[in-house]
Amino acid sequence: MPRIEYVPRKFSADSKAIIRRANEICADYAAQGYDLTLRQLYYQFVSRDWIPNKQSEYKRLGSIVSDARLAGLIDWHYIVDRTRNLRGLSHWDDPRQIIDAVAAQYLTDRWADQPARVEVWIEKDALVGVIQRVCNRSDVPYFSCRGYTSQSELWSAARRLTRYAEAGQGTVVIHLGDHDPSGIDMTRDIAARLALFGAEAAEVRRIALNRDQVDRYQPPPNPAKLTDSRARGYVREHGTSSWELDALDPATLSDLIENEISAWRDDRLWAAATRRMEKEKALLGQVSARWGEVRALVGDQ
């Protein structure tokens, strides 16, 4: 685990306690296969009543965590920034490497035989890393709306969902967003604009964050943004508190998504498609294992 000391630093007893607790939380999630954003770590502290839910406390936690990482006291892999990442093309040292990769990554479209196509849309870019694992496991496409979905993306989505519908499949968009005036309205907006662009048959399913989940999981509340044009109706129904999707435990979010996906998937058809895919994947594996013979057969130019 990379705990590297770049800047030596002494910490107060209070800061040491925060660092110890941060490491305990992060290690627990790492054991489950999750990393955390600073925001998610903050909500873990708040939900345990270790710090109050205040912006000043969020900034203070961020400062202590940053200093602790530089001092070699917190693993650099524990905290991630999912909104700023280097992107580029893959490279290979030898043709066999890509054959090995293809054999391992080969997938067929197992949703092609299903009664419905499913996609997962999430309000926040910072949570993509949480939903990625469960979506990949079920081979379901996903994307971050980054608030209200752009006109371009919704138009493209409507065209895609319409093609599925024309092929005889139902179309389902699973949506997750904050429980605040705009976050709730975003689900309505997605459905309305998909219909406007011709995908009126698509079903938009909001699975989080809903009021029953707020009552069940008790995430830390924030003041609702009263300057939001949608605040009046929201306050009338829910009061002056709002709740962020980030405050839900990552494992809980994954379970909500997995259960919803399973509800739309015919497991018998899925198993049959998986068997066919694995048979084809095994063929690629044989090519990889016998690469020397394949290379000799086609000729080493």
3-class DSSP assignment, residue 277 = helix
Average pLDDT over residues 135-162: 96
Are the CB atoms for 142 and 128 separated by under 8 Å?
yes
Residue closest to 16 by CA, chosen among 56, 72, 73, 55? 73
pLDDT-derived band at 263, boundaries 50, 70, 90: very high
Are the CB atoms for 206 and 176 separated by under 8 Å?
yes
Tokens of 257: 């998504």
Tokens of 17: 């306690």
Are the CB atoms for 186 and 132 separated by under 8 Å?
no
Tokens of 122: 């999430």
pLDDT per residue over 77-109, tens digit each?
A: 999 987 777 778 888 888 888 888 888 889 999
Q: Range with the lowest mean pLDDT among 76-85, 114-123, 124-133, 208-217?
A: 76-85
Average pLDDT over residues 5-23: 97
pTM: 0.85
Q: What is the mean pLDDT of the chain?
A: 93
- Residue 301: what pLDDT? 55
Beta-strand pair 222-223/241-242: antiparallel
CATH topology of domain 115-265: Dna Topoisomerase Vi A Subunit; Chain: A, domain 2 (3.40.1360)
- Residue 187: what pLDDT? 98
Give me the residue spans of the domains in the chain.
Answer: 13-70, 92-104+267-301, 115-265
Task: Tell whether the model's pLDDT for residue 261 goes beyond 60.
Answer: yes
Q: Using CA atoms, how far apart are residues 265 and 276, in angstroms rounded to an integer?
A: 17
The DSSP output letter for 48 is: T
pLDDT-derived band at 156, boundaries 50, 70, 90: very high
- Residue 300: what pLDDT? 61
Is omega for the bond preceding 41 within 30 degrees of 0, making it cis? no
Tokens of 194: 């998909």
pLDDT per residue over 26-57, tens digit each?
A: 999 999 988 899 999 999 999 999 999 999 99
Tokens of 206: 């909001």
- Residue 93: what pLDDT? 84
Are the CB atoms for 39 and 65 separated by under 8 Å?
no
pLDDT per residue over 171-212, tens digit each?
A: 999 999 999 999 999 999 999 999 999 999 999 999 999 999
3-class DSSP assignment, residue 242 = strand
Q: Using CA atoms, how far apart are residues 65 and 240, in angstroms rounded to an integer?
A: 31
Q: How many CB atoms neighbour CB 276 within 10 A?
A: 12
By CB neighbour count within 10 A (0-12 exposed, 13-18 middle, 19+ buried), where does 30 fall?
A: middle
Q: Which residues of 177-186 are buried (b: 16+ CB within 10 A; e: fewer)?
A: bbbbbbbbbb
Q: Using CA atoms, how far apart are residues 52 and 46, in angstroms rounded to an integer?
A: 6
